[in-house]
Amino acid sequence: MANSDPSQVPASADNTEATATPSEPSAVEASEATEQGSAARQLLGMKGADTGDTNIWKIRVQLMKPITWVPLVWGVICGAAASGHFTWTLEHVLMSAVCMVMSGPLLTGYTQTINDFYDREIDAINEPYRPIPSGAISIPQVVTQIFVLLGAGIGVAYGLDRWAGHEFPTLTVLAIFGSFISFIYSAPPIKLKQNGWTGNFALGASYIALPWWAGQALFGTLTPKVMVLTLAYSLSGLGIAIINDFKAVEGDRELGLKSLPVVFGIEKAAWICVLMIDVFQIGMALFLISIHENLYAVILFLLVIPQITFQDMYFLRDPVKNDVKYQASAQPFLVLGTLVAGLAIGHAGL
């Protein structure tokens, strides 16, 4: 039967109204895709993610910022490689996995939650949709989460010490020390993050040195020489930490926080950021030459080349607009470089 409703007549070649092709997403589909992308960004704890989700467990995960767990998990891998004693046995794989959970979801989750707790006034200016300033989670719930994650992280560290047969509880001490640094980084009156240099170095060391120490102590011996070396290497991590400050300039300035973009301006701070990363990557490569690990040094030098290229393409031209593109394109070369350094140190038996 013919349809008498003109609105239901199929479009013909004579229609003057444009019709969407099958390959073009509808407005509804585009909106759904945007919402899904925003939901994923929210769950990962990334900036600019606002979906209004009220699920308390998703909100708790968002506070823990899973996107920040990756460097810590990778740091454990680098430390295990640097130990020179990691083997691909089931026991070692399980031990490293538990150590990654301790360093990532538990202790980094604690760090991020306590940081959001003490940053709730700044977030009310820069990111009012964040869980705490938006009222999506109550203060008592946040405090409970902080203590649960802290207790679980230290408990797992103690269990790893027992598992590894340590006479001295190295991992437990590292977990307590790292947790203390996280506390004074965010909490007054010390609040290390108020000063761009000390705060960002503390953050960089937490990303590189602390998980490296945990991985190396779990499977080998953590020596003072390696500790000093990784702390120096963590100065490249300072360059990573600065990236997070560019989009918070307005709130930091209003509340008197002396982040590097506030103190030096965006352009100069961008140069400080990339130079800290490149100089200390190259410095590590030169150190590897000094201990006759020439092949690893060459690989590290080669990784710096594309890193510098993407720094120029994205970050130095507009650090605020291109921060995500920069981190996605350039940072993997720094991450791979830390593993190269760990393998070299393990091969050299330092």
Q: Which residue has the higher pLDDT, 244 or 141?
A: 141
**Across 22-35, average pLDDT:** 49
**286-340 per-position pLDDT tens digit:** 999 999 999 999 999 999 999 999 999 988 998 888 888 888 888 889 889 999 9
pLDDT at 236: 87
pLDDT band at 20 (very low <50, low <70, confident <90, very high): very low
- DSSP class of 259: -
Listed range (33-37, 185-189, 224-228) with the worst mean pLDDT:
33-37
Q: Give the pLDDT confidence score for residue 14 in this predicted structure.
A: 44
- Give the whole-angstrom CA distance, residue 297 versus residue 283: 10
If DSSP codes are grouped into helix, strand and coil, which group holds residue 258? strand
> Which is more confident, 135 or 47?
135
- Distance, in Å, from the CA atom of 271 to the CA atom of 312, rounded to the nearest integer, reads 10
Q: Which has the closest alpha carbon to 205: 80, 343, 338? A: 338
Lookup result for tokens 């291109």: 322
pLDDT at 46: 53
Using alpha carbons, select from 255, 266, 251, 216 the residue that is nearest to residue 96.
216
pLDDT in tens, 227-236: 999 999 998 8
315 burial (CB, 10 Å; 0-12 / 13-18 / 19+) is buried
Percent of the chain topping pLDDT 90: 56
pLDDT of residue 155 exceeding 90: yes
Average pLDDT over residues 1-24: 44
pLDDT at 29 over 70: no
Q: Measuring CA to CA, how many Å separate 33 from each of 23, 52, 55, 61, 87?
A: 15, 16, 20, 21, 43
Residues 6+ apart with CB under 8 A from 231: 205, 209
Q: Is the pLDDT of residue 208 over 70?
A: yes
Other residues' Cβ atoms within 10 Å of the Cβ of residue 15: 10
Q: Residue 291 corresponds to which tokens in the numbers above?
A: 């201990």
Mean pLDDT for the stretch of residues 105-111: 96
pLDDT, position 152:
98
Give which of 197, 203, 206 is closest to 269, Cα–Cα.
197
Coil, helix or strand at residue 195? strand
Q: Would you tell me how many other CB atoms lie within 10 Å of the CB of residue 43? A: 20
pLDDT digits (tens, 9 = 90+) for 65-106: 998 898 899 999 999 999 999 999 999 999 999 999 999 999
**Does the pLDDT of residue 244 top 80, yes or no?**
no
| pLDDT score for 249 | 80
At 41 the pLDDT is 54
Q: Rounded CA gap, 178 and 152, in Å?
A: 14
Q: Return d(Cα 225, Cα 218) in angstroms, integer.
A: 17
Confidence of residue 226 (pLDDT cuts 50, 70, 90): very high
Nearest to 298 by CA among 350, 334, 337, 345: 337
* Residue 250, both tokens: 């307005």
The average confidence (pLDDT) of the chain is 85
Is 252 exposed, middle or buried, given 0-12, 13-18 or 19+ CB atoms closer than 10 A? buried
Query: For residues 108 and 205, what is the distance between their CA atoms, to the nearest angstrom?
Result: 13
Predicted confidence band of residue 21 (pLDDT cuts 50, 70, 90)? very low
List CB contacts of 216: < 8 A, sequence separation 6 or more: 79, 80, 82, 83, 222, 226
Token match 């925003």: residue?
A: 38
pLDDT value of position 45: 52
